[in-house]
Amino acid sequence: MHSPGVAIFLPMALAIVMLGLGMTLTVRDFRRVWEVPRAAIVALVLQTLVLPAICFGLILIFDLAPPLAVGMMLLAASPGGTVANLFSHLAGGSVALNVTLTAVNSVLGVITLPIWVNLSMAYFMGDEANIGLQPAKTLQVFMIVLIPAAVGMWVLQRFPGFAERARRPLRVASTIILALVIAGALAGNHQILLDHFVSIGSASLLLSTISLALGYWIPKLARIDHPQAIASAFEIGIHNATIAITVASLLDDPDIAVPPAVYGVLMYIPAGAFCYALMRRKQRMEMPRKGGAPRASL
């Protein structure tokens, strides 16, 4: 994970992913937080406070080795991924809220991510930990996130036709890049993956499943509408493994990258199942009643 090739490839990969995301963003997406404050606040509190606490509990349950524990906490503190937008769209969620939350979370991550990573390194690794994740290093990663996203927003505003044509190729490129990043992280740390696959895999699946459930039901209990609850579920339940692995590459222990890499593969199982269930529900609600009018969609 610390080879010169990785040091060059990971930032480039992340920049391409965020460029594609930027081409879906406008300034209005940031303003929308004030238009739907309850949905945004509930999702952001779940993302930044509740989810890391749940992840901490899972780490204790599965008794993960210190570097793997830090990797799980790093993952839980990472912002949502672009894949969340796609799942939300398929399931009938408010993609606008997804885009808004991804944008805001990416900015907040400059502050929240190093706090959670450094606290977890101090707790789990103790004397084994070195300096930890310095704010300058975190800012460096998020400049790789924020600058390409800003460029993408500028391209969308100035050249909307080009941005529209470029979205699909960039989405495909982002998917391929994510697969390569995950494959590289797993290949570089294959022995610890083999030794701890059951515990890491179980913790990753549970984190994803619990995140999706909380992201959906807490907004529903807060009387947030159904499309926004769906958006919240996928934004909280799907994390940006590329960012997590990139940040892990700045730390001194390559094993920290293993949980985000495993999660990047396994998250599609609960996310896909949840998306399928919501799509089926949507189809049932839209089917015309026998001898009556179509059901109203919630």
Tell me if 129 sits within 8 A of 122, measured CB to CB. Answer: yes
Domain ranges of the chain: 4-281
pTM, whole model, 2 decimals?
0.77
Q: What residues contact residue 63 under an 8 Å CB cut-off, 6+ apart?
A: 199
Does position 159 have pLDDT exceeding 80, yes or no? yes
Does position 56 have pLDDT exceeding 50, yes or no? yes
List b or e across 250-284, with b for residues whose CB sees 16 or more CB atoms inside 10 angstroms. Answer: bbebbbbbbbbbbbbbbbeebbeebbeebeeebee
Q: What residues contact residue 166 under an 8 Å CB cut-off, 6+ apart?
A: 20, 23, 155
Worst-scoring range by mean pLDDT, 78-82, 189-193, 230-234, 281-285?
189-193
Tell me if 42 sits within 8 A of 232, measured CB to CB. Answer: yes
Q: What is the pLDDT of residue 129?
A: 55
pLDDT digits 0-9 by tens, 259-280: 988 888 888 899 999 999 998 8
Tell me if 90 sits within 8 A of 254, measured CB to CB. Answer: no
* Higher pLDDT among residues 222 and 104, named by residue: 222
- CA–CA gap between residue 108 and residue 39 (Å, rounded): 17
Residue 19: count of CB within 10 angstroms of its CB: 21
- CA–CA gap between residue 37 and residue 100 (Å, rounded): 11
Only one residue has tokens 């780490």, namely 59
Q: What is the pLDDT of residue 164?
A: 82
Does position 51 have pLDDT exceeding 70, yes or no? yes
pLDDT digits 0-9 by tens, 74-95: 999 888 767 787 788 888 888 7
Token output for 267 = 């998250």
CA nearest 237: which of 64, 51, 11, 23? 51
Does position 18 have pLDDT exceeding 50, yes or no? yes
Would you identify the CATH topology of the domain 4-281? Na+/H+ antiporter like fold (1.20.1530)
pLDDT range class, residue 215, cuts 50, 70, 90: very high
Tell me if 260 sits within 8 A of 75, measured CB to CB. Answer: yes
